[in-house]
């Protein structure tokens, strides 16, 4: 199986400067390649530039600018060009499917935070000082950077990535051939219903509270964003020390919320994996669930619009993002693969409207957010538990009689 490891790097002052230079030069390469594609297509000939052509120019670029582009790994620069090529491939794919195209954009230095090395040993070397007291990663143009390795790396290291988050640097290792670690069987099966009032509810009726990390940190984040807004929009080189501190404060609070959400997802998934052998969940399309409602023009008044519930939908969208369903389900699938458990995604349609006792489907069955009462057979239960039961039944799991 494939697994990724993320470790905090502890560079020296000089190494941190070199890492920043590496990101800056890769960002410049990305933007230059994007500009070349734009200019070529805007020409009367409508020329289309491909990755192979731009990769073939790297040798000349490196020899022309040895102090900047020539310092870094050739393979990592190819990976940056592939990153642009994937962005264009996704752009054309969205055009064909009728989605919003989203033309690839130029990246600012603050928005380009990752450099990939496609192969361990080519421009980088994980555990470059194996006999030393601490782990280190060697990066071309930077040197041997100390790494805080808090977990043993298993399998074979395939790719290495360097990522900047605020003022911290991380190394991410993608490994294959990682051995699975199956857990002993428990014989228990369940279905889970994801929600807002409760983070999840099992078919056994167990509710897990929603931590609402963004909501708990909303006041502090709002204050920090107001302080940042007072400085206005300025280029990085024109910002004062206080402006930089305000930017870092906002980024730090966002990072805190993201880490809290990921930590909660890991702990919740681990509890589920240790308790159940088979877990069924809804196959959620979160991108569709958080779409903004379309505007409703007023036919009687030109330029006016009718109420479309956008404010209420925005609040619901914030709650869905705050719950982090996608993060949790991705982590759950990964942990299940490693532990030898089975995770079954099912179609979520009408799971909260179907009576698990008689199978009657009606929107009137769910009288409130919490209460379910079948209008045909009179079966009553918690609405979230009913959804979890229907998910388990739809997945073909054997459950106790609910009648």
Res. 401: pLDDT tops 60:
no
358 pLDDT above the threshold of 80: yes
Nearest CA to 163 out of 111, 105, 90, 121 is that of 111
Confidence of residue 4 (pLDDT cuts 50, 70, 90): very high
- Provide the pLDDT for residue 398: 56
Do the Cβ atoms of 271 and 332 come closer than 8 Å? no
| More reliable by pLDDT, 71 or 100 | 71
| Cα separations in angstroms, 163 against 10, 88, 112, 351, 357 | 13, 23, 9, 41, 52
Mean pLDDT of 251-268: 94
Residue 100 has pLDDT above 90, yes or no: no
**Looking at residue 142, what is its pLDDT?**
96
Distance (Å, rounded) from C-alpha 332 to C-alpha 295? Answer: 37
Please say whether the beta carbons of 49 and 37 come within 8 A: yes
Distance from the Cα of residue 298 to its chain's centroid: 38
Query: Does residue 402 register a pLDDT over 50?
Result: no
pLDDT, position 264: 95
Compute the C-alpha angle 55/60/66, nearest 5°.
Answer: 115
pLDDT surpasses 90 at 265: yes
Closest CA to 336 of 218, 197, 181: 181
pLDDT tier for residue 185 given thresholds of 50, 70 and 90: very high
Phi then psi for residue 35, to 5 deg, are: -65, -40
Rounded CA-CA distance 334/347 in Å is: 20
Tell me what pLDDT residue 238 has. 84
Residue 233 confidence class, pLDDT cut points 50, 70, 90 = confident
pLDDT band at 261 (very low <50, low <70, confident <90, very high): very high
Give Rg (Cα) of the chain: 26
What confidence score (pLDDT) does residue 403 get?
A: 41
Looking at residue 399, its pLDDT comes to 55
Number of neighbours of residue 11 by Cβ within 10 angstroms: 19
The rounded mean pLDDT for the chain is: 91
Q: What is the pLDDT of residue 258?
A: 93
* pLDDT (average), residues 134-160: 95
Exposure on the CB side of residue 175, measured as CA atoms within 13 A = 18
93 Cβ contact list (under 8 Å, min separation 6): none
Handedness of CA 64, 67, 68, 70 (dihedral sign): positive
Distance of CA 119 to the CA centre of its chain: 23
Q: Under a CB-based contact definition with an 8 Å cutoff, are residues 309 and 245 in contact?
A: no
Separation between Cα atoms, residue 239 and residue 146, nearest integer Å: 31
* Per-position DSSP letters for 189-245, written without gaps between them: EEEEEE-SSEEEEETTS-EEE---HHHHTHHHHHHHHHHHHTT-S--GGG--HHHHH
Q: What is the mean pLDDT of residues 104-123?
A: 93
Q: For residues 398 and 392, what is the distance between their CA atoms, to the nearest angstrom? A: 8
Q: What whole-number distance in Å separates Cα of residue 298 and Cα of residue 244? A: 45
Q: What percent of the chain has pLDDT over 90?
A: 67
pLDDT digits (tens, 9 = 90+) for 373-382: 898 888 899 8
Token look-up 């470059």 returns: 128
Evaluate if pTM is beyond 0.75: yes
pLDDT of residue 46: 87
* Residue 79 confidence (pLDDT) above 50: yes
pLDDT computed for residue 359 by the predictor: 87
pLDDT of residue 299: 87
Window from 52-56, 231-235, 280-284, 317-321 with minimum mean pLDDT: 231-235
Question: Can you say whether residue 98 is alpha, beta or left, with left for phi > 0 and alpha for psi between -120 and 50 degrees?
Answer: left
Of 5-14, 130-139, 168-177, 366-375, the one with minimum mean pLDDT is 366-375
Torsion of the alpha carbons at 257, 259, 264 and 267, rounded to the nearest 10 = -170
The predicted pLDDT at position 235 comes to: 79
């Amino acid at each position: 199986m494939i697994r990724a490891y993320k470790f905090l790097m502890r560079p020296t002052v000089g190494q941190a400067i070199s890492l920043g230079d590496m990101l800056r030069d890769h960002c410049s390469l990305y933007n230059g390649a994007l500009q070349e594609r734009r200019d070529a297509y805007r020409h009367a000939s409508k020329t289309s530039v491909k990755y192979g052509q731009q990769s073939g120019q790297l040798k000349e670029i490196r020899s022309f600018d040895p102090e900047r582009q020539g310092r870094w790994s050739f393979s990592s620069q190819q990976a940056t060009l592939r990153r642009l090529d994937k962005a264009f491939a996704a752009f054309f794919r969205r055009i064909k499917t009728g989605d919003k195209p989203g033309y690839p954009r130029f990246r600012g230095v603050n928005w380009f935070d990752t450099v990939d090395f496609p192969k361990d040993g080519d421009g980088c070397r994980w555990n470059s000082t194996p006999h030393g007291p601490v782990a280190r990663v060697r990066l071309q143009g930077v040197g041997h950077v100390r790494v805080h390795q808090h977990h043993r790396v298993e399998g074979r290291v395939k790719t290495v990535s360097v990522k900047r988050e605020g003022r911290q640097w991380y190394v991410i290792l993608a490994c294959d051939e990682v051995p699975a670690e199956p857990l002993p069987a428990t014989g228990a099966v369940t279905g889970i219903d994801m929600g807002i009032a409760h983070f999840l509810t099992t078919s056994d009726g167990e509710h897990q509270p929603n931590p609402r990390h963004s909501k708990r940190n909303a006041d502090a984040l709002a204050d920090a964003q107001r302080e940042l807004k007072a400085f206005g929009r300025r280029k990085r080189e024109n910002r004062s020390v206080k402006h930089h501190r305000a930017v870092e404060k906002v980024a730090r609070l966002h990072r805190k919320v993201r880490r809290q959400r990921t930590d909660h997802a890991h702990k919740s998934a681990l509890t589920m994996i240790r308790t159940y052998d088979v877990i069924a969940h809804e196959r959620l399309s979160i991108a569709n669930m958080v779409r903004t409602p379309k505007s409703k023009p007023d036919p009687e008044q030109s330029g006016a619009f009718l109420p479309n519930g956008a404010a209420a939908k925005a609040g619901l969208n914030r709650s869905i993002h705050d719950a982090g369903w996608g993060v949790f389900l991705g982590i759950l699938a990964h942990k299940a693969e490693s532990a030898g458990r089975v995770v079954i995604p099912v179609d979520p349609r009408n799971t909260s409207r179907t009576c698990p006792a008689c199978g009657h489907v009606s929107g009137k069955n769910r009288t409130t957010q919490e209460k379910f009462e079948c209008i045909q057979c009179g079966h009553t239960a918690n609405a979230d538990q009913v959804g979890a039961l229907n998910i388990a039944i739809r997945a073909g799991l054997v459950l106790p009689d609910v009648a």
